[in-house]
């Protein structure tokens, strides 16, 4: 489990609070791949792309390997939606891989796609097109405005197949009943 270091959320999950004013992030769960005072980058882990599948993506990229089993493509966020990212278990690390935590890494090069398609990739993975990004101080402001909750990440939430249950599962993980939540921030 990744610790929060100096208030940064790398390796943690962000869970959108209801109601979310931005429909692109309503009921989303985002894994934070990088967070510093300068910027933040995360991948939405509970939205599937309906416009492309893994086999079509491989064909478009000229990768000849044919995957065994279903590999689903996620919408990682609204930024650079033509750019692919693979969030995966840390048993697969190459020169182009960003190790996010002891258990999770991120690779954005085509070699990981070929490895997954040929059965030589990471033990667990999530393929996403696009990402969620924030400038300096932007994410912190959204958290202060009661827009996001921080939840510790785990492999089942990250890589679990049931994307429809991830938002509620993340809320339950920190003991929240979603029917009892309010969007108003309290001040003492």
Going from the N-terminus, what domains does the chain have, and what CATH number goes with each? 12-180 (3.40.1740.10)
Q: What is the DSSP letter of 117?
A: H
If pLDDT is split at 50, 70 and 90, which confidence band does 4 have? very low
DSSP summary character for residue 119: T
Provide the token pair at 175. Answer: 């003991």
Whether the predicted pLDDT of 20 surpasses 90: no
Q: Model confidence at 187, in pLDDT bands (50, 70, 90)?
A: very low
Average pLDDT over residues 90-94: 95
Give the contacts of 92 (CB within 8 A, at least 6 positions apart). Answer: 105, 107, 112, 115, 121, 122, 123, 125
Residue 147 in this model has a pLDDT that exceeds 80: yes
Of 104, 83, 85, 106, nearest to 94 by C-alpha is 106
Predicted pLDDT at 67: 66
Report the predicted TM-score, pTM, of the whole model to 2 decimal places: 0.88
Burial of 40 (0-12, 13-18, 19+ CB in 10 A): buried
């Amino acid at each position: 489990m990744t610790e929060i270091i100096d208030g940064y959320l790398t390796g943690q999950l962000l869970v959108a609070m209801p109601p979310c004013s931005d429909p692109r992030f309503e009921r989303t769960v985002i894994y934070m791949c990088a967070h510093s005072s300068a910027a933040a980058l995360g991948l939405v882990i509970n939205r599937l792309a309906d416009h492309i599948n893994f086999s079509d993506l491989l064909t478009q990229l000229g990768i000849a390997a044919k995957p065994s089993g279903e590999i689903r493509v996620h919408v990682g966020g609204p930024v650079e939606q033509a750019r692919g990212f693979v969030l995966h278990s840390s048993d697969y690390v190459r020169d182009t891989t960003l190790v996010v935590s002891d258990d999770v890494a991120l690779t954005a090069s085509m070699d990981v796609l070929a490895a997954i398609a040929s059965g030589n990739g990471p033990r667990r993975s999530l393929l996403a097109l696009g990402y969620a990004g924030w400038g300096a101080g932007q994410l912190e402001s959204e958290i202060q405005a009661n827009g996001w909750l921080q939840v510790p990440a785990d492999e089942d939430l990250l890589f679990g197949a049931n994307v429809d249950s991830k938002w509620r599962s993340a809320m339950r993980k920190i003991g929240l009943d979603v029917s009892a939540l309010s969007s108003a921030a309290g001040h003492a």
